[in-house]
């Protein structure tokens, strides 16, 4: 099956033109300053589900905090999550720390593709990227950009939303990857997909491998890659109460240590099921101390498979709540302390609307 996709491809020419183009136009990105596998691993984990422009400032701050695997391995949850705050998909941060611990136990970063693949949270793409970029091992690193580029170059109509399709693309890339410069080859495919071979309106006239692209010659570049639509997201309506006392402190609680946004802090919130007096009822332990209740607005926060629709209120109280704190593990934190606690991003947005 693989032969049908590459039988008309001049592999040597494709490698040469792609690699020459990459070396001449590659973006100046902080993780490209050397081939340090730890720096590359951190960047690849951060770049999962997150755009380059968003990642850069997080990456630079993270590397200052944790310049080595030893430093990251020793990081506590609060410091780690605060450093990752805003990037989302927080299991990535925990897995990265676990990988750092595994690397420290190994006595150094693993140097084979098979060993790298064993690191926590490292799948076929990340292992391929680290192996090829850091150690020049000629293995495929198939991400969304590579799916798009190779589906067009080779006219592959297999549905990339299906798990089995990855095997097809990995086999194709394995056949065409440069063994002399696998690092530049894989990064060239990624760079091409990010800057030229874009999902919509690809810049075909600027493409360094246009000559080899079957989709371009057949005029079907807009039909590839084939991808079925993802399942719809579930909407959950929540009520969020930002409670502030007379000392200027906010009431927060820590989320469970497993599940969505584990170990992050959040304001008082609960699912709204249509109760008529929902706010008074839920806040009854402090209602007699309430000075004012102000409606802030309704905000949506979108996750991959769910949407939080948050009806939000600012509540000023005079004192107390000690009994509720003791019972529900809440705590008061000052505005200055807000920078020390990882607050869920959805609630950060609500807080900004209060402070503005």
Tell me the pLDDT tens digit for each residue of 263-272: 889 998 888 7
Residues of 157-195 as b/e, b for ≥16 C-beta within 10 angstroms? ebebeeeebbebbbebbeebbbeebbbbbbbbbbbbbbe
Q: pLDDT by residue (tens digit) across 297-327?
A: 899 988 878 899 998 989 888 765 554 454 4
* Both structure tokens of 139: 């293995």
* Both structure tokens of 27: 């973006």
Q: Which range has the worst mean pLDDT, 190-194, 245-249, 346-350?
A: 245-249
Contact 250, 332 (CB under 8 A): yes
- For residues 22-43, give the mean pLDDT: 97
Tokens 């968003």 label which residue? 54
- For residues 229-254, give the mean pLDDT: 85
- For residues 67-94, give the mean pLDDT: 93
- For residues 68-94, give the mean pLDDT: 93
Task: Please determine, for residue 273, whether its predicted confidence score (pLDDT) is greater than 80.
Answer: no
Percent of the chain's residues with pLDDT above 90: 63
d(CA 218, CA 156): 13
Cis peptide before 131 (omega within 30 of 0): no
The runs of H, that is alpha helices, within the chain are 2-6, 11-25, 37-46, 52-65, 69-73, 77-84, 91-106, 113-116, 124-135, 144-153, 163-176, 182-195, 214-218, 278-282, 322-328, 345-355
Q: Which of 140, 147, 109 is nearest to 125 (CA)?
A: 140
What pLDDT does residue 277 have?
A: 53
What pLDDT does residue 319 have?
A: 62
- The β-bridge partners of 298 are 311
d(CA 236, CA 301): 10
Task: Please determine, for residue 131, whether its predicted confidence score (pLDDT) is greater than 70.
Answer: yes
Contact 124, 117 (CB under 8 A): yes
- For residues 129-153, give the mean pLDDT: 97
Q: Report residue 285's pLDDT band, with 50, 70 and 90 as the boundaries.
A: low
Q: Which range has the worst mean pLDDT, 36-40, 138-142, 292-296?
A: 292-296
3-class DSSP state of 271: strand
Query: Phi first, then psi: what are they for 153, rounded to 5°?
Result: -60, -40
Q: Report residue 253's pLDDT band, with 50, 70 and 90 as the boundaries.
A: confident
3-class DSSP state of 204: helix
- The β-bridge partners of 310 are 238, 299
Q: Report residue 143's pLDDT band, with 50, 70 and 90 as the boundaries.
A: very high
d(CA 45, CA 41): 6
Average pLDDT, the chain: 90
Radius of gyration of the chain (CA): 25
What pLDDT does residue 126 have?
A: 97
Which residues are the active-site residues? 44
Task: Please determine, for residue 88, whether its predicted confidence score (pLDDT) is greater than 90.
Answer: no
């Amino acid at each position: 099956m693989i032969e049908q996709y590459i039988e008309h491809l001049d592999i040597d020419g494709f490698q040469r033109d792609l690699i020459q183009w990459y070396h001449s136009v590659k973006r100046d990105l902080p993780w490209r300053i050397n081939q340090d596998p730890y720096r590359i691993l951190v960047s690849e984990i951060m770049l999962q589900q997150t755009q380059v422009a968003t990642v850069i400032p997080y990456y630079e701050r993270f590397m200052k905090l944790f310049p080595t695997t030893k430093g990251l391995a020793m990081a506590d949850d609060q410091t780690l999550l605060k450093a990752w705050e805003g990037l989302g998909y927080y299991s990535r941060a925990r897995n990265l720390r676990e990988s750092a611990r595994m690397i420290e136990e190994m006595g150094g970063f693993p140097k084979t593709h098979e060993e790298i693949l064993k690191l926590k949270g490292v799948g076929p793409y990340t292992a391929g990227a680290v192996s090829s970029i850091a150690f020049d091992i000629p293995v495929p690193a198939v991400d969304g950009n590579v799916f798009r580029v190779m589906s067009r170059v080779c006219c592959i109509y297999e549905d990339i939303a299906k798990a089995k399709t990855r095997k097809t693309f990995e086999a194709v890339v394995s056949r065409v990857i440069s063994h002399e410069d696998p690092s530049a080859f894989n990064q060239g495919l990624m760079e091409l997909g990010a800057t030229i071979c874009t999902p919509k309106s690809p810049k075909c006239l600027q493409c360094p491998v246009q000559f080899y692209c079957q989709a371009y010659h057949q005029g079907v570049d807009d039909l590839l890659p084939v991808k079925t639509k993802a399942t719809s997201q579930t909407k959950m309506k929540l009520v969020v109460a930002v409670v502030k006392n007379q000392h200027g402190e906010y009431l927060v609680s820590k989320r469970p240590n497993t599940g969505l946004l584990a170990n992050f802090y959040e304001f008082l919130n609960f699912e709204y099921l249509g109760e008529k007096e929902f706010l008074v009822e839920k806040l009854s332990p402090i209602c007699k101390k309430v000075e004012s209740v102000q409606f802030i607005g309704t905000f949506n926060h979108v996750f991959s498979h769910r949407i939080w629709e948050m009806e939000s209120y600012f509540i000023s109280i005079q004192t107390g709540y000690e009994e509720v704190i003791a019972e529900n593990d809440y705590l008061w934190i000052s505005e200055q302390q807000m920078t020390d606690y990882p607050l869920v991003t959805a609630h950060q947005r609500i807080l900004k609307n209060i402070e503005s």
